[in-house]
Structure 1
Amino acid sequence: MKGVQNFLVVFALLTLAFSLASASDPSSLQDFCVALNDTKHAIFVNGKFCKDPKLATADDFFFSGLDKAGNTSNAVGSRVTPVNVDQIPGLNTLGISLARIDYAPYGGLNPPHTHPRATEILAVKKGTLYVGFVTSNPDNKFFTKILKRGDVFVFPAGLIHFQFNIGKTNAIAFAGLSSQNPGVITIANAVFGSNPPINPDVLAKAFKLDKKVVEFLQTQF
C-alpha cells in the first residue's frame, strides 16, 4: 500500500510539473492561423479569429521596418518596436514574436517590467547594456550582466527585468519572445499610474514611503 501511495504522490508531482511547463501559448494544431478582425469567412481557434487558409497571402507573414531606429526622445530614453500578432497576422497561434529596442546614449532605459505570457531572449546588436532580472518571493535574487555587441541574455517568463544603456552611444537590441502576444506590465506605470489610482495609503505602506511622496509619484504618470 505504501508503494502505491508513493507512486500516486510522484505521479501527482509530475502532472503538476508538466502543467506548469505547459503554461504558455498552446501548441498550434494546424500549419497556421492568420489573424482576422472580420469574422466573416473565419473560424476561431485561439488568440484571434483565423482567416480561411485559402485566402492567406505572403503578406500575412511579412513585416518591414526593423531596420528603422525608434524615437528615444521620451522620459525613459528608449523605444520598443514590437513585431507580434498585431503586426504579422500569420503569427496567430504560432507562439512567438519579436521586438527591436532602441536606447538613447547613456541613460536610455527599458524600465523594470514583466511579460506575463512569455520568456524573452535578448541579443545586443550595438552598444553596452546593463541588464538584470529578479526572482520571485521569497528570495528575490538579482541576476545581472553587462552585455556588449553579440551578447545574449534570457529573462524568464513573468519575472521583473530591465535594460539600461551604460554606453556613450545609442544602443540597439533585438528580443525574441515565446508568445504571439507576450503582454507587458511596466512596474512603475502599473503601480503609480493605474486608472483609477490605487489608494495612496496602500502604496505608502507597501513601499514604506510618506503618503505625500506617493501622491507626488502618482502625478508623474
Structure 2
Amino acid sequence: MAEEGREARKAILRAAREGFAARGFYGTSMEYITRNAGVSKGAVYWYFPGKWEVYKAVVAEEAERLKGIVLPPGLELPPGEAMDFFLTRGERLIDIFAEDPVCRLLFVHLQLEAMRGREEMIELVTTLRASITEDAISVIEAVFPGNILTRRGISHRELVNMFVGILNGIILNIELTITREEARRNWRFLIRSVLGGIGNEP
C-alpha cells in the first residue's frame, strides 16, 4: 500500500473512531466519516466494503493496542513477578482509559449495543473477550500451575473472567463515581488480596 493510501486509511479510521465513540455505531454515518476524514466517499469504499467493516477495523485496532500493552507477544512471566505484572498492567489500562475517553466510549457503546441484543455486537464482544481471555489464561496457567487454584474452588478461566469483569466495572466508573487514583487503589487491593493469598499457599 502506497504511503498516500496508508494515510487515507488512517484518516478514515481516525474519523470513524471519533464518530463511533461520540455517536455510537448506529448514529455515525458514512457521510460523517467521509467528511471528517477529508476523503471522498469512493476512497472509504475502496478500503472498506461498508460501515460495519470500518467499525470492526476500529474496534479490532483498539483491542489489539490494549492487548499489546497488557499481554505483549512472547510474554514469559516467572511466578515471582506475577503480582507486579498484574498490578502494573491493570494500572496502565486504568490510566489509558482515564486519559483517552474516546477509547473508553468506543467500548461502552459496543457493550451497550450488545446489551440491547444486537446480534452482530454480541458476536463482536464475544470474539474480543475470547481472544483476551485465552491469552490471559495461558499467562495465569504458567504462573499458577497444577491444582493451586482448584483447591480454592476456582479455575484459571474463572479467575481471568473475574479480573476482566472487575476491571471493566472500575474502568466504566472512572471520573464518574471514582477518581483515577481510587480506581488504581481498588485494582491494587484486588490483586494483592487475590494473588497474594494464592501465592502464599503451599
The interval holding the TM-score normalised by the smaller chain is under 0.3
- Identify, as 1 or 2, the structure richer in helix: 2
Greater relative CO (CA pairs within 8 A, separation 6+): 2
Larger strand share, 1 or 2:
1
Please, what TM-score do these two structures have when normalized by structure 1?
Answer: 0.22
Q: Which structure is larger by alpha-carbon Rg, 1 or 2?
A: 1
